[in-house]
Amino acid sequence: MSIKSEPITINLGPQHPSTHGVFRMRVTFDGETIIDVEPIFGYLHRGTEKLAEERTYTQVVTLTDRMDYVSSMLNNQGYILALEKLSNITPEPRGVWLRMIASELQRIASHLVAVGFLIQDLGAWGTPLTYAMREREKILQMFEMLCGARITNSYLRPGGVFMDAPEQFWVALKDFVYDFPSKVDELEKLLTSNEIIFSRTKDIAVLTPEQAINASITGPILRSTGVSWDLRKDDTYDFYDQVKFDIPTHSAGDNYSRYLLRVQEMRESLKIVKQCVENIEPGPVRPHHDEVPFLVRPPKGDCYVAIEGSKGELGFYLVSDGSISPYRWHVRSSSLINLTLLRDMLIGTLFGDLFVTFGGIDINMGEVDR
């Protein structure tokens, strides 16, 4: 006996509790099984790339904050690195160490958000999310000490950071570094061995390395398929060649390994922060005003710099025509490109897996739409 059924199409989003912003998916179901997905973006498009063309190079830093608003320090870092390469600025060592500390803390914060919301999508009523947010709160407070803002930092400047860290930052950082591993352990105790999470995420939305690389997927998702590819090591920038850390990889390539990988990356980031604190030495945090003026005028040319963002390869393509504002500024947003295989990952899974997979990819609509 066969039941005659008819596919049903549902618009999930742009207003939906778990689309992580204003994202829309036109999903076709056969019963509970997904047979087609079409992602539709652009609800948060603000024309950042066009806006940058009428701002000076320093003013563009404020635009990068607003792209991926849960990892704005990393966006700052990528953009500043591109600008430094384009205009041949040598950064001050203390500034570089400081921005490495800031961006690794930001990576921890971003992964905390990713893990928290992934579990939220699984249906845990906010408990792991609040535990994650509790830790993120400490990081945001440290950012407030550093630069007076919690989300839209604008902390980095060409050649380093805008101001040295205050005394209380180091105290708070010491507390955090001491405290954080036990909190991650707590989060892991709640989540990692939980059978429901395990059975719901294991072997769902599996990607092979070839598929992932072919679709330009980078970051934790690529590493969860077993490819040891991290731009911090493979295309090293700042002083990442002077610190020791591991690149955790998993070979499963499913949702569970993505979750576990993020937890491990948080520990690795903490390791980097510790080493940065050991290595940092007193000195100026940015070049003198005479060397790097407020209005940077890079020579004519273009450059592409990619860093390992929290969500993947975060690239900035800058074209200069010698004036005070970029001629063209392109952002290679990892969030957008990581969604390329969303359809292939979702087809054949159930409704319950949809948002779990989506949360596992960990996108940020601010960066997808820009």
Give residues 12-41 in contact with another protein (rule: CB under 8 A): 16-18, 29, 32, 41
Quick one: which H or E segment has residue 270? helix 255-279
354 binds another protein (CB under 8 A): yes
Closest CA to 334 of 360, 356, 315: 315
Characterise 254 by phi-psi region: left (phi > 0), alpha (psi -120 to 50), beta (else). beta
Based on CB atoms, which residue is closest to another protein, 206 or 302? Answer: 302
Based on CB atoms, which residue is closest to another protein, 107 or 250? Answer: 250
According to CB under 8 A, which residues from 306 to 335 bind another protein? 306, 313, 315, 317, 319, 327-328, 330, 332
Single residue of 202, 288, 297, 300 touching another protein by CB under 8 A: 202
Distance (Å, whole) CA 91 – CA 126: 42
According to CB under 8 A, which residues from 68 to 107 bind another protein? none
SS3 content of the chain, % helix, strand, coil (to 5): 50, 10, 40
Single residue of 238, 353, 362, 367 touching another protein by CB under 8 A: 353
Which amino acid type is present at position 144?
A: E
CB of 288 vs another protein, minimal distance in Å: 14
Based on CB atoms, which residue is closest to another protein, 62 or 271? Answer: 62
User: In the chain, what is the straight-line distance between the N-terminal and C-terminal CA atoms, in Å?
Assistant: 51
Based on CB atoms, which residue is closest to another protein, 91 or 116? Answer: 116
Closest CA to 258 of 215, 323, 310: 310
Q: How far is CA 26 from CA 21, 41, 43, 106, 120, in A?
A: 16, 11, 14, 33, 22
Stretch that binds another protein, among 76-84, 95-103, 251-259, 275-283 (CB under 8 A): 251-259
Based on CB atoms, which residue is closest to another protein, 192 or 274? Answer: 192
136 binds another protein (CB under 8 A): no
